Structure 1
Amino acid sequence: MLDLWSLKVLTEVGRLGSFSAAAEELSMTQPAVSRQIATLERQTGVRLFERLPRGVRPTDAGRAALEQAGEVLRGMRLFETRMRAFATAEAGRVRVSAFPSAATTYLPERFRSFAGRHPGVELSLTVRSGEHDPCAAVLDGDTDIALLTSWDVAGATGVVLTPVHEDELLVALAATHPLAQGSRVRLRDLAAEPWIDGTHPDCLGPISQLASALGGTPRISHVCDDWNGRQGLVAAGVGVMLYPSIAGYSAARPDIRLLRPSPSLPSRTILAAALPPTDRPPAVSAFLAALTTPEPTAARVPPRRRSR
């Protein structure tokens, strides 16, 4: 059976036209190179080189063998390069699942930044509905990294949870709403407002403080799973909603206003669930590290409302 070292010797003899020169290049003796070529000729059943007074010259079969050997060696180098890339987070695949607001701005920005540094890694995103268990998807191998909130960490076993974002909860009002002119809004002043709810965790959530600040349970008039649809309802003035900062302030419609509630609502931690480091590919660990990179300060501050 032919081996890669024999093909390497073959290509060096063909490149240099001499057993002696090839031996020097490969740190071998000239007789060892001669025996290697003789063995190849016996294995292939054809003469590969014409022996000349000074050096050797490939036969027609030898030229074909050199061409084929070059392709095999290039393929092996490519194989080694690609395997090294997988071992150093320069290749591979990272599958991410997230809830809608996290997929609005936060993850697309992380994808763009990561792809610029790791162009050989394939990224994919699945936006999941509230009834799916993100940790189970990681354990079952259906996804590599799943984003979830601190509302959902109870019972999360077998995965490593890494905090990646502290999520401030704001109130979204229509730009034409009488209370939308400042930077803060008293929750008690919204007690009579209809509220728009959505799929967990993009919902009013288990926030007892909201009901306490309102002076009673919020009156839910609409339930909309679509992130853009919820903003549309707010812009139309038919209700108000909570707006998590992970959605990105630049992603808010221009005809709605984001205000900090008074009193402030407790923030929630966004976490990334993944397998333990020893059980995940380097590319997954690299993307997880990218998720923990601090955001620019400007991205964490609601923009000032433009003066008319």
Structure 2
Amino acid sequence: MLDTWSLRVLLEVGRRGSFSGAAEALSMTQPAVSRQIATLERRTGVTLFHRRPRGVQPTEAGLAAIEQAEAVLNGMSLFETRLRAFTTAEAGTVRVAAFPSAATRFVPESFRRFAAARPAVELSLTVGGEGLMEGAIDVDLRTSWDAAPEPGLEVLDLFEDELLVALPAEHPLAAAERVRLADLADEPWIDGTHPDCLGPIAELAAAMGRAPRISHLCDDWNGRQGLVAAGVGVMLYPSIAGRAVRADIRLVEPSPRLPARRISAVFLPARGRPPAVSAYLEVLREMGEAYGRMAPTSRLP
């Protein structure tokens, strides 16, 4: 089997047109370069260079060998570069699963920030996906309303996600910054898919003085907003979704405030974790710290 050093000597002789020129470029002696080419010719069974009084000239076989040697060496260089990139978080794939309200603004913003620093890393988003334990995803965004993470997984707590109330723009209370939940006791409520739902209904019921009257169930995030805009009900609106709300909906703070839900990133342990995934988790950590300091109505405008 030919070694890469022999190919490098071959390439330099072809480029320089002489053994002495190649020897100088490679910090070798001229006899050593000559022996290297002779050995290569003997092993391949073809003459690679015509020896001339003032240098050497590639044969037809030599031209083909030089072209192939260059391709092999470039391929080896690319091989090393790409593997090195995986150890420096400059390449690879990060697969994220998130619930619908997190996928509206928070996750896209995290992708924007991450891609600005590491454009070669491929990012993918699955809404409501599973497969962390099976290796189908790398990071799973969850809330404290979910069950405890499976044993062996690591958790990065990001921030406390406060709940707002979404009202139709024409609602009598829509112009207020804060609304008493007791004043919404007779309103029809729209519920949705966990964890973008009414959550701990007992606490909402205690604040209103009665259990919420759920008039519509809708699994689609945009569909739920459409129902609110149509005036057929009101809904809880998690602040993680930011201001990604229809123009015909108003967000107000409930009084009393409902218990916030904790947003966390769940992922596999560090051992064997691709560096790109660890780098993405750092972006989430930084965003979580900043997001937690902001008022719920001003997050991610």
Which TM-score bucket, shorter chain as reference?
Answer: over 0.9
Q: Tell me how far 1:54 sits from its aligned partner.
A: 2.8
Q: Tell me how far 1:85 sits from its aligned partner.
A: 1.1
Aligned with residue 246 of structure 1, among 219, 222, 240: 240
Letter paired with 1:292: R
After superposing the two structures, state which structure 1 stretch, 201-210 or 143-152, moved more: 201-210
The whole-number CA distance in structure 2 between the counterparts of 1:11 and 1:266 is: 70
Say yes or no: does 1:226 pair with 2:226: no
Aligned to 1:284: 277
Structure 2, unaligned stretches of length 5 or more?
Answer: none
Q: Deviations over 1:119-146 (max 9, x none)?
A: 1111111111xxx7x5xx2111111111
Q: Deviations over 1:153-196 (max 9, x none)?
A: 42532111112232110001111111111100001111111111
The whole-number CA distance in structure 2 between the counterparts of 1:177 and 1:240 is: 10
How many aligned positions are there? 296
The whole-number CA distance in structure 2 between the counterparts of 1:34 and 1:289 is: 54
The whole-number CA distance in structure 2 between the counterparts of 1:139 and 1:298 is: 32
Q: Deviations over 1:258-308 (max 9, x none)?
A: 0000011111111111111123101111111111223479975526xxxxx
Superposition TM-score, scaled by structure 2 size: 0.93
**Preserved CA contact (<8 Å) 2:201 2:211:** no
Say yes or no: does 1:265 pair with 2:252: no
The whole-number CA distance in structure 2 between the counterparts of 1:2 and 1:167 is: 61
**Preserved CA contact (<8 Å) 2:242 2:296:** no
**Preserved CA contact (<8 Å) 1:165 1:292:** no
Say yes or no: does 1:154 pair with 2:156: no
Q: SS of 2:97's equivalent?
A: strand
Q: Deviations over 1:225-258 (max 9, x none)?
A: 0001111111111111000011121x11111110
Change beyond 3 A, Cα 1:62–1:300: farther
**Preserved CA contact (<8 Å) 1:248 1:299:** no
Aligned with residue 302 of structure 1, among 285, 297, 300: 297
Letter paired with 2:137: T
The whole-number CA distance in structure 2 between the counterparts of 1:298 and 1:150 is: 19
After superposing the two structures, state which structure 1 stretch, 17-26 or 227-236, moved more: 17-26
Superposition TM-score, scaled by structure 1 size: 0.91
Structure 1, unaligned stretches of length 5 or more?
Answer: 304-308
Q: Deviations over 1:80-128 (max 9, x none)?
A: 1111111111111111111111111111121122222211111111111
Aligned to 2:57: 57
Letter paired with 1:74: N
Q: SS of 2:179's equivalent?
A: strand
Q: Please, what is the CA RMSD of the aligned residues? A: 1.8
Aligned to 1:256: 249
Structural mapping, 1:96-111, within 5 Å: 96-111=96-111
Letter paired with 1:139: M
Structural mapping, 1:74-93, within 5 Å: 74-93=74-93
The whole-number CA distance in structure 2 between the counterparts of 1:104 and 1:224 is: 17
Q: SS of 2:182's equivalent?
A: helix
Aligned to 1:165: 159
The whole-number CA distance in structure 2 between the counterparts of 1:296 and 1:243 is: 16
Aligned to 1:8: 8
**Preserved CA contact (<8 Å) 1:165 1:246:** no
Aligned to 2:180: 186
**Preserved CA contact (<8 Å) 1:94 1:144:** yes
The whole-number CA distance in structure 1 between the counterparts of 2:166 and 2:64 is: 72
Change beyond 3 A, Cα 1:101–1:159: same
Change beyond 3 A, Cα 1:293–1:196: same
